[in-house]
Structure 1
Amino acid sequence: KEGVVLGRVADFKRRIGPKAIERKDRKPIVIITAQYKEKGLRKIMEDIKAKMADFSLPAGYVWSLGEEFKRYERAEAESRFGLILAIILIYLIMASLFESYIHPLTIMLTIPFAFTGVAIVFFLADLPLDSLSRLGLLLLCGLVVNNAIVLIDYINRLRRSGMDKYDAIVKGGRDRLRPILMTSFTTIFGLLPMTLPLLIPVLYGPFEGREKIWAPVGLVVISGLFTSTILTLIIMPTIYSLIDDLGRWMKKLFAIA
C-alpha cells in the first residue's frame, strides 16, 4: 500500500499554541503560572480577584484560582488554628504552675505586645505576612512569655517573703532587668544572621534563594521579641499591679455575695 503525503490533504502553518490540551472534568483548560518576588501570595490573590471582577469572559468560559492558592488558604487556616491552640496551651500550663488564673493573664499580655511590634515592622518594610512568617508567630508566642514569667514569678516570691506589693514590683523590675535584657538580646543577635537577606539584600544578590526564605521568620521573632521586652519592662509592672488589685476586688465582691 502506498502512503499519502500529509501535505496533500492538509495545510501547514507555523503559529503559537499550547504544547498539549489539558482537561479537567472533561473540559479543556488553560493553566497560567507565574513567579513572584515582591508581593506575597495573599496580595497576589487580592489583585487577581480585583482585576477579574472587572473582566467579562465570553459565554461558556470561567476562571478560578489554582491549586497553589487553595493550598495557601488551607495552610493559612491551619496556622490560625495552631496559633490559637498555642496560646490556649501556654495559658493552661502557666495557670497550673502559678496556681492562679489572674497572673497568667498578665503574662499573656506580652503576646499582643509582640504582635504589635511585628505588625509595625512588616508594615514599614512593606513585607507580606506569609506562611513562614506565621510560623515565626508560633515561635514568638513561646518566647515572649519567658521574660514576663521571670519578672512576675520573682515579684510573687518577694511578696510571699513578706515584702509590700509596690516594693516587690520595684525590686523585681530592678533585679530582673539585666537577666531579661541578656536573655532577649542573645536570642535577637543569634537570629540576626537569618534576617540579613532582607536587611542587606545586596550581599545575597548572587545567592538569592533558600537564604531569603527563612528571613521573615527571623524578622518576626526579632521584632516581636524586642518590642515585648521593652514593653514588659516598662508597662508590665503597672499591669501586674492593676490586675492584682482587680483580682482582690473580685474576691471581696464574691465573698460579700
Structure 2
Amino acid sequence: NNDIYMQVAMIMLIGLGAKDAILIVEYAKMNLENGQDVVTAAVNAAHLRLRPILMTSFAFILGCVPLAIATGPGAGSRVSMGNAVVGGMTFNTFVGIFLIPVLFVVVERFFSNTPKPRNPFRRRKNKENEPATPAD
C-alpha cells in the first residue's frame, strides 16, 4: 500500500539511516587518522556506535508499534505509516550496523591507491634525527 503516509515514513527512514551511516563513517575516519588500519577502524567505529544506534532505533520502532496495530476509523493511514516505519527501521538498523562498515572498508581500500596531497609543512619522522652527511 504505497500511499502518501508510507512515502513520508520512507523519507524519515532515509534521514535516520543517513545519520547513522554518517556517524559510523566519521568515527571510522577519525580512527583511521589516528593510525589504525582500515578494518580495525571500521570495526571499532561500529562497536562504538552500536549502543546509540540500537537505542535510537528501538525507541523509534517501539514508539511506532501503536501506529502499526491501530484499529478504528481512519486507522488505515496510521497502519500504513506504522508498518513502513517498523519494518524499514528494523531493516535500516541491521544495514547500518553490518553493511556500512563493510562498505567503508571496501571504499577505503579501493581509493587508497590514489596519491594523497602532501603537506609541505609536515616533517619527516625518519629524517629529522639523522645527522647531515657531507656532499661529494
TM-score past 0.5 threshold? yes
The match for 1:236 is 100
Structure 2 Cα separation of the partners of residues 144 and 209 of structure 1: 32
**TM-score (ref. length: structure 1):** 0.42
Query: Partner of 1:163: helix, strand, or coil?
Result: coil
Query: Which gives a bigger RCO, structure 1 or 2 (Cα 8 Å, sep 6+)?
Result: 2
Q: How far is 1:156 from its partner? A: 1.0
The match for 2:127 is none
User: 8 Å contact 2:10–2:85 — kept in the other structure?
Assistant: yes
Q: How does 1:166-245 map to 2 (within 5 A)?
A: 166-197=39-70, 204=71, 208-245=72-109
Greater Rg by CA: 1
**TM-score (ref. length: structure 2):** 0.75
Query: Partner of 2:112: helix, strand, or coil?
Result: helix
The match for 1:140 is 13
Q: How far is 1:226 from its partner? A: 0.8
The match for 2:37 is 164
Structure 1 Cα separation of the partners of residues 96 and 5 of structure 2: 26
Query: Partner of 1:209: helix, strand, or coil?
Result: coil
User: 8 Å contact 2:65–2:86 — kept in the other structure?
Assistant: yes
The match for 1:43 is none
Structure 2 Cα separation of the partners of residues 172 and 140 of structure 1: 21
Query: Partner of 1:239: helix, strand, or coil?
Result: helix
Query: Partner of 2:81: helix, strand, or coil?
Result: helix
Question: Aligned letter for 1:186?
Answer: A
1:247 partnered with 2:127: no
Q: How far is 1:159 from its partner? A: 1.4
Q: How far is 1:165 from its partner? A: 1.7
Moved over 6 A (4+): none
Could you give the per-residue CA deviations for residues 73-94 of structure 1, whole angstroms, max 9, x where no partner exists? Answer: xxxxxxxxxxxxxxxxxxxxxx
Number of corresponding residues: 115
Q: How far is 1:193 from its partner? A: 1.0
Structure 1 Cα separation of the partners of residues 17 and 42 of structure 2: 20
User: 8 Å contact 2:61–2:89 — kept in the other structure?
Assistant: yes
Structure 2 Cα separation of the partners of residues 177 and 166 of structure 1: 16
Query: In angstroms, what is the RMSD of aligned CA positions?
Result: 1.6
For structure 1, the residue ranges without an aligned partner over 5 or more in a row are: 1-127, 198-203, 253-257
Q: How does 1:5-44 map to 2 (within 5 A)?
A: none
